[in-house]
């Protein structure tokens, strides 16, 4: 099927991305990359049907010229693929970060987040599509917006396992296939390298704790795909029937003896469950490590005994559907087996090449660096 001719803007954008060297700095000598084959745009049609993150078949105008987006991870993916100029409004959870999303007016948002949408505002803005994640008010949004001809499409920017499909969908619906493909290939090459190096290697165990103390990750959680991509063994991936993931029993962590602990933190001024471009002050990292080490009985956990405690921010870990976080975890857990993986370079590429922002330090720390 022939592709529609890209707009002049998209051509210039793709050329700019190619000249910027987006693919530079990848791990040396990676395994043979698995090149994605994105869906093709229609030839001579005004609509296109795509399968979204929930498996829904959605007919969309083609190409999308105006969209409103809920969830910061979704907006980041769209920006990485080269189509952020088509987004006319976002949610408060995104727009709060003025240094990172200064192009969006916090007084002209589509609601607080994906579960608290302002449908009157969305109708007023009259976009072609509302993009929101699978944990948003998808069914309600469809019912509210269908009479106005506004489509609802699900992209879950935090879904690591669906990264390829999400890049393909963004590339096709906005008509930016080449830049979306370049973005996907960079992170896929990193994953291929990690998988090739760790294949058939004994797994090392990890306890992953979110920004809330004793809140962990189990299968089905948005963070779980990140732990799988890192190839670390999540200590709560099995025998979870009696586990309350939102407040795990500290004794269970002691019993399961993780080799490493990974903790997420976020600045106090960030809205709950969100992150900010500027990281917390270093003292917050130091205090977090001290608090973990002071937990009763935790001094007997191998991760604490060996000071294998690692921290990353709510903002930083989620890059590229959490593949940035996965790269850091993989390197932290398997430093001897991944000699050519430089997660700092991965984060730099994510920030500078795919988001267009200065790479900012202070989002990732090992406890040994804070001693």
Note whether 340 and 232 are same-domain residues: yes
**196 inside domain:** no
Task: For residue 269, count other CB atoms closer than 10 A to its CB.
Answer: 9
**195 inside domain:** no
Q: Distance between CA atoms of 370 and 307, rounded to whole angstroms?
A: 11
**284 inside domain:** yes
* Domain that includes residue 342, residue range: 201-370
Note whether 173 and 220 are same-domain residues: no
**6 inside domain:** no
**4 inside domain:** no
- Provide the domain count of the chain: 2
Note whether 21 and 134 are same-domain residues: yes
Task: Answer yes or no: are the C-beta atoms of 81 and 171 closer than 8 Å.
Answer: yes
**pLDDT tens series, the chain, 371 aa:** 433 333 333 433 333 433 334 333 333 333 333 333 445 555 555 999 999 999 999 999 999 999 999 999 999 999 999 999 999 999 999 999 999 999 999 999 999 999 999 999 999 999 999 999 999 999 999 999 999 999 999 999 999 999 999 999 999 999 999 999 999 999 999 999 999 999 999 999 999 999 999 999 998 888 899 999 999 999 999 877 888 999 999 999 999 999 999 999 999 889 888 999 999 999 999 999 999 999 999 999 999 999 999 999 999 999 999 999 999 999 999 999 999 999 999 999 999 999 999 999 999 999 999 97
Note whether 26 and 170 are same-domain residues: yes
- What is the SS3 assignment for 28-95? CCCCCCCCCCCCCCCCCCCEEEEECCCCCEEEEECCCCCEEECCHHHHHHHHHHCCHHHEEEECHHHH
**316 inside domain:** yes
**3 inside domain:** no
Q: Which tokens is 349 given? A: 């590429």
Residue 325: CATH number of its domain:
3.40.50.1980
Report the first-to-last Cα separation within the chain, whole angstroms.
59
Query: With a threshold of 0.85, does the pTM exceed it?
Result: yes
Q: Write down the H helix ranges in 130-281.
A: 138-145, 163-174, 177-198, 224-230, 250-256
Using the 3D structure, point to which of 146, 161, 187 is the last residue of a domain.
187
Note whether 166 and 231 are same-domain residues: no
């Amino acid at each position: 099927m022939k592709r529609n001719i890209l707009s002049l803007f998209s051509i210039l954008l793709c050329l700019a991305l190619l000249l910027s060297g987006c693919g530079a700095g990848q791990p040396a000598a990676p395994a043979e990359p698995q090149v994605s084959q994105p869906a093709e745009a229609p030839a001579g049609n005004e609509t296109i049907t795509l399968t979204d993150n929930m498996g829904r078949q959605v007919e969309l105008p083609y190409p999308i010229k105006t969209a409103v987006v809920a969830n910061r991870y979704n907006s980041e993916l769209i920006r990485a693929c080269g189509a952020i100029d088509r987004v006319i409004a976002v949610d408060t959870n995104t727009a709060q970060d003025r240094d990172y999303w200064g192009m969006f007016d916090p007084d002209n948002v589509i609601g607080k987040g994906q579960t608290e949408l302002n449908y009157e505002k969305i109708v007023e803005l009259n976009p072609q599509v509302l993009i929101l994640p699978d944990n948003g008010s998808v069914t309600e949004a469809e019912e509210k917006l269908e009479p106005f001809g506004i489509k609802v499409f699900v992209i879950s920017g935090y879904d690591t396992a669906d990264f390829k499909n999400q890049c393909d969908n963004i590339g096709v619906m906005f008509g930016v296939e080449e830049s979306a493909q370049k973005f996907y290939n960079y992170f896929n090459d990193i994953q291929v390298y990690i998988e090739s190096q760790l294949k058939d290697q004994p797994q090392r165990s990890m306890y992953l704790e979110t920004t809330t103390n004793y809140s962990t990750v189990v299968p089905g959680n948005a963070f779980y795909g990140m732990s799988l991509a890192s190839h670390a063994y999540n200590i709560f991936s099995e025998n979870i029937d009696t586990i309350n993931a939102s407040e795990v029993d500290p004794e269970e962590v002691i019993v399961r003896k993780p080799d490493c602990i990974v903790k997420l933190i976020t600045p106090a001024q960030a809205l709950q469950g969100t992150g900010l471009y500027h990281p917390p002050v270093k003292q917050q990292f130091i205090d977090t490590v001290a608090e973990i080490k002071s937990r009763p009985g935790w001094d007997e956990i191998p991760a604490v005994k060996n000071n294998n405690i690692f921290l990353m921010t709510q903002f930083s870990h989620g890059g590229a559907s959490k593949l940035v976080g996965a790269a850091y975890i993989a390197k932290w857990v398997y430093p001897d087996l991944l000699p050519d993986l430089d997660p700092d370079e991965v984060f730099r590429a994510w920030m500078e090449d795919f988001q267009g922002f200065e790479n900012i330090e202070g989002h990732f720390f090992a406890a040994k660096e804070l001693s």
